[in-house]
Each structure stands twice: as C-alpha cells, then as structure tokens.
Structure 1
Amino acid sequence: MITSHKSPATKLGKILPTAALALGLAFSAQAATATANPTLSQSKPVFLGDGGDYPFSSAVRVGDTLYMSGQIGFKDGKLVEGGIKAEAKQSLDNINGVLLQYGYQKSDLVKCMAMLTDMGDFDDFNEVYKAELSKPYPVRSAFGVADLAANASVEIECIAAK
C-alpha cells in the first residue's frame, strides 16, 4: 500500500483558493442583493387625519403610496339620501377629498375595494363608478357584505400611488 503524505502547506495551498473563491461569491451575492432593488425604501408609515370619534386614521402614507380608510356616503355628518347611486357618488367624492387633502388625485388611484350590502346594486354602482373615474380604471374588488356602518349601502376603500 502506497500512501502519500502531503505537507500541511500543500493542503493549505489547495484550501485557500477554494475558500477565497467561496467568500468572493458570497460577497458578490450580497452586493447583488443590496443593489438589485435600489428603489426599495425604508419609509416609515405616516398616519394622516383621524376618524373623529372613531379609532382610525383617514389615511396612511408609506413612501409615495397612500392607503385610505373606507368611505361611505356621509356628507355633513349623515348618510346621503337617494340609495346606492347617491351613496356611491358621495363615497367617491369623499375619496377624492382625501386624495386632494394629501396631494393626490383620482388618476393616482391604483386599487379600490367596494363593499355592497346588496349585490343587486352592482350595475348601478358600476354606472356611478365609471362616471366618477376614468380609464385606465384602478384594479378593483367588489364584495357583498351583510351590513355596513350607519346602514350604508356601499363602502369604498382605495390605495393611491405616485
């Protein structure tokens, strides 16, 4: 049996280049990860406005994105009369007011969620929605719900981004 005894220096000479290569790849991977998304920011949420007597903010801004609380058809402290069309229009007017208050506009809307207490009102809701917003429309979800605050027929919640 022939055995070869290599000196520790010979073994080290083979290990060091391999270790250096591995470390270089690790450093390169970390550098690539850090620079792959330079637009990623560490913005902290800024809570805006308040819900008056209710425990919520009217909006929260994170970076250039504005997340708004849901709006029902309230005007002057009470629900507007006239059913789904009047409530939907007032809800969207309220959303527009929040947008303008914080430096945004309807064209900055990217996502809306509509909650309807009667899905039979869906077509009437869409008629108002199309009249109040313009193409390209924000992405949207619509849900049928059992009840809404203040016996509202519709609540709309949106997200805007610049």
Structure 2
Amino acid sequence: MKAIYEKHNYSAAIRAGDLLFVSGQVGSRNDGSPEPDFEVQVRRAFDHLAGTLAEAGAGFEDIVDVTSFHTDPDTQFETVLKVKDDILPSKPYPNWTAVGVNWLAGFDFEIKVVARIPK
C-alpha cells in the first residue's frame, strides 16, 4: 500500500489529537493489483486497515466511524457484513455509512475509518 500512497501523494493516516483519520483501504494483492475474489478482497482491505491502525497504536476496537464504498452494493453487502461480523463481532459497533459508487480504480470495495488512539 505504501507505493500507492507515494504514487498519488497522500498519507495512509493522519493523527489529529487522539483521533486517527485513515485513508481508504482496498483489497490489493502484494503487487498492488485488485484481488479478484470479492470476499478475499474485502478481507485484504481489512488486513491493510489493521496494519495502518497498528502503526498508530490502535486496533479495530478503537474505530468510531466507518465509511465503505461498494461498486455493487446489492450483491456485495451480504459478504461485507459477514466479514465485518468476523472482525467487529461485539458492541459497541462503530458508526457506519455505506456508499454505492461506480469506480474504485479496479477494486470493488474500499473502507476508510476514524479511530481513537488509546492513551
């Protein structure tokens, strides 16, 4: 993912006080290409998100707000919820906004979050 940030001149995350604003994470393979299996692509996006959160000393339990982007929400959302339930299985759940889009640079799912950084 670092190559993507450098190529397009943006940060994986920015800290503001005790909040971490994480840029959109996609389910790329090691070479940066989109993972073709949708569920695996979603899991890889969450894996990339976990790595970005960990670098700031945070984890999934620290997420307070989620925005996800979907190229075909009607057919994809059940899979996304399955993965989300594996990763965020208990309350309190973060706020979540899901947005249908027609382009994600070859990807079918992207997730961005705001998290609290633990003290």
TM over 0.5: yes
| Aligned match of 1:79 | 34
Q: Tell me the CA shift for residue 54 of structure 1.
A: 1.1
Q: TM-score, normalized by length of structure 2?
A: 0.87
Count of aligned residue pairs for this structure pair? 111
* Alpha-carbon separation, structure 2, partners of 1:68 and 1:75: 19
Give the percent of matched residue pairs that are identical in Structure 1 and Structure 2.
29
Q: Are the aligned partners of 2:60 and 2:87 in contact in 1 as well (CA < 8 Å)?
A: no
* Alpha-carbon separation, structure 1, partners of 2:56 and 2:29: 19
Amino acid at match of 1:124: T
- 1:141 and 2:97 equivalent? yes
Q: Which residue of 46, 62, 73 corresponds with 1:92?
A: 46
Spell out the pairing of 1:1-162 with structure 2 (5 A cutoff): 51-76=5-30, 77-83=32-38, 85-119=39-73, 120-136=75-91, 137-149=93-105, 151-161=106-116, 162=118
SS of 2:14's partner is strand
* Alpha-carbon separation, structure 1, partners of 2:115 and 2:25: 14
Q: Are the aligned partners of 1:91 and 1:155 in contact in 2 as well (CA < 8 Å)?
A: yes
Residue-by-residue CA offset, 1:7-54 (whole Å, 9 max, x unaligned): xxxxxxxxxxxxxxxxxxxxxxxxxxxxxxxxxxxxxxxxxxx81211
RMSD: 1.3
- Whichever of the two has the greater Rg, that structure is 1
* Alpha-carbon separation, structure 1, partners of 2:99 and 2:60: 22
Amino acid at match of 1:78: S
Question: Which structure carries more relative contact order (alpha carbon 8 Å, separation 6+)?
Answer: 2
* Alpha-carbon separation, structure 2, partners of 1:93 and 1:111: 17
Task: In structure 1, list runs of 5 or more residues that go unmatched.
Answer: 1-49
Q: Tell me the CA shift for residue 72 of structure 1.
A: 0.6
* Alpha-carbon separation, structure 2, partners of 1:109 and 1:134: 13
Task: In structure 2, list runs of 5 or more residues that go unmatched.
Answer: none
SS of 2:7's partner is coil
Amino acid at match of 1:123: E
* Alpha-carbon separation, structure 2, partners of 1:91 and 1:66: 17
- Compare the two structures and name the one with the higher strand fraction: 2
Amino acid at match of 1:61: R
